[in-house]
């Protein structure tokens, strides 16, 4: 079954990326990212979804995401450790517009009443979560305790068991005075 998402790829500093490569099973296939919509349209190229998506995304300028703490989600099998995104009006506006434009794709399939913007760095069994969280917190402190992550584009990513991974990037505007 094909799965897809709309994300903002981000580049993590080496200490955090090393942790992600070791403890996130999806790290080899997907870049570090903030999820905007998952699941999303399974096919995008040349569809009305793509036209609608471009109209929303072209109104946004590049912006910066700030992370300054580690959080976790507890799942039935694995705990997810993440870098929490500080309140960001541009990201909030982008998420609101995307949700309004694509009501047929509620975030996380409507499973979660509150959406917490984040960058996943590890998916581990509960027994290892405390130790790995300590590694992530130590790495974040070693980087000054605050990360500034440039948000330069949104990407549609899709996985099809027959075709593998595909993606398409939609860069945000770089011009001052344009967009949000």
Q: Please name every residue paired with 118 in a beta bridge, in sequence order, or none if there are none.
A: 84
Does some domain include residue 177?
no
44 against 100, higher pLDDT: 100
Output DSSP code: residue 16. H
Is residue 180 in some structural domain? no
Domain span holding position 9? 3-171
Query: 98 pLDDT exceeds 80?
Result: yes
Residues 148-152 have a mean pLDDT of: 97
> Model's pTM, two decimal places?
0.91
What pLDDT shows up at residue 92?
A: 95
- Residue 179 in any domain: the answer is no
Is 162 a residue whose pLDDT tops 90? no
- Contacts of residue 166, defined as CB under 8 A and 6 or more positions apart, other chains included, come to 157, 158, 160
CA of 176: how far to CAs of 36, 118, 154, 171, 173, in Å? 24, 26, 19, 15, 8
Q: Are 140 and 147 in contact (CB under 8 A)?
A: yes
pLDDT at 149 over 50: yes
- 123 with 73: CB under 8 angstroms? no
Q: Does residue 48 fall inside a structural domain?
A: yes
Q: Does a structural domain hold residue 178?
A: no
Q: How many domains does the chain have?
A: 1
Q: What pLDDT is attached to residue 112?
A: 83
Structure tokens at 22: 């070791």
* DSSP E strands, 28-133: 33-37, 63-74, 79-85, 118-124
Q: What is the CATH classification number for the domain harbouring 78?
A: 3.90.1140.10
- 151 part of a folded domain: yes
For residue 176, being part of any structural domain is answered with: no
Q: How confident is the model at residue 49 (pLDDT cuts 50, 70, 90)?
A: confident
Is the per-residue pLDDT at 176 higher than 70?
Answer: no
Pairing type for strands 153-160 and 63-74 reads unpaired
Residue 143 DSSP one-character state:
T
Residue range 24-30: average pLDDT?
92
What's the rounded mean pLDDT across residues 52-62?
Answer: 91
**What pLDDT is recorded for position 125?**
96
């Amino acid at each position: 079954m094909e799965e897809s998402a709309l994300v903002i790829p981000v580049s993590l500093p080496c200490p955090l990326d090393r942790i992600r490569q070791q403890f996130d099973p999806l790290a080899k296939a997907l870049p570090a990212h903030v999820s905007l919509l998952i699941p999303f349209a399974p096919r995008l190229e040349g569809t009305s979804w793509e036209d609608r998506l471009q109209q929303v995304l072209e109104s946004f300028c590049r912006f910066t995401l700030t992370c300054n703490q580690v959080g976790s989600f507890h799942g039935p099998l694995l705990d997810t450790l993440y870098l929490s995104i500080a309140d960001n009006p541009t990201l909030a506006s982008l998420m609101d517009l995307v949700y309004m434009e694509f009501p047929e794709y509620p975030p996380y399939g409507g499973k979660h009443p509150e959406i917490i913007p984040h960058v996943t760095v590890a998916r581990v069994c509960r027994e290892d979560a405390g130790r790995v969280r300590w590694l992530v917190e130590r790495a974040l402190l070693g980087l000054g305790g605050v990360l500034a992550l440039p948000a330069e584009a949104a990407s549609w990513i899709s996985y099809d068991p027959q075709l593998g991974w595909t993606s398409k990037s939609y860069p945000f505007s770089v011009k001052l005075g344009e967009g949000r």
